Amino acid sequence: MKANEVNEIINNICEKVGIGFNNAKEFVPVFAKYKAINDAFVCIGFLIITVISVIVILKLIKGYKTSESWDKDGWIFGIVVCSFASLVCGLTSLFNLFYAIEWLIVPEAMTVQYILDMMK
């Protein structure tokens, strides 16, 4: 794809949305800030879920230690499920943090990559 085609797509999108950008040089910094902030908020959201999951895991472990020997299976199941949720949310949080950093460091490259990915 040529640069003129990418500019035409950006101009068309901006015109449809009603944003007054004349070219990609004006569009890229604003779009990069938006994507960085969006990824940062997603990172914070998943981080909050991870912290809540760890707190629940600690409470489940405490309950497991005080439970009767015949009642330990339910506690173990809860610990495993919360541990898996915590792991998935923690990794998702890290990936979104990396994306936010990428958007802040190399906004031009990330914008081009984003547009090319959207055109596939």
Domain coordinates in residue numbering, the chain: 3-119
Task: Tell me what pLDDT residue 81 has.
Answer: 95
Predicted confidence (pLDDT) per residue in 9-68, tens digit: 767 776 766 666 666 677 788 888 889 999 999 999 999 999 999 999 999 999 998 888
pTM of structure: 0.74
d(CA 42, CA 55): 20
**Burial tier of 117 (Cβ tally within 10 Å: 0-12, 13-18, 19+):** exposed
Task: Tell me what pLDDT residue 20 has.
Answer: 64
Comparing CA positions, the residue from 110, 120, 119, 112 lying closest to residue 39 is 110
Task: Tell me what pLDDT residue 23 has.
Answer: 62
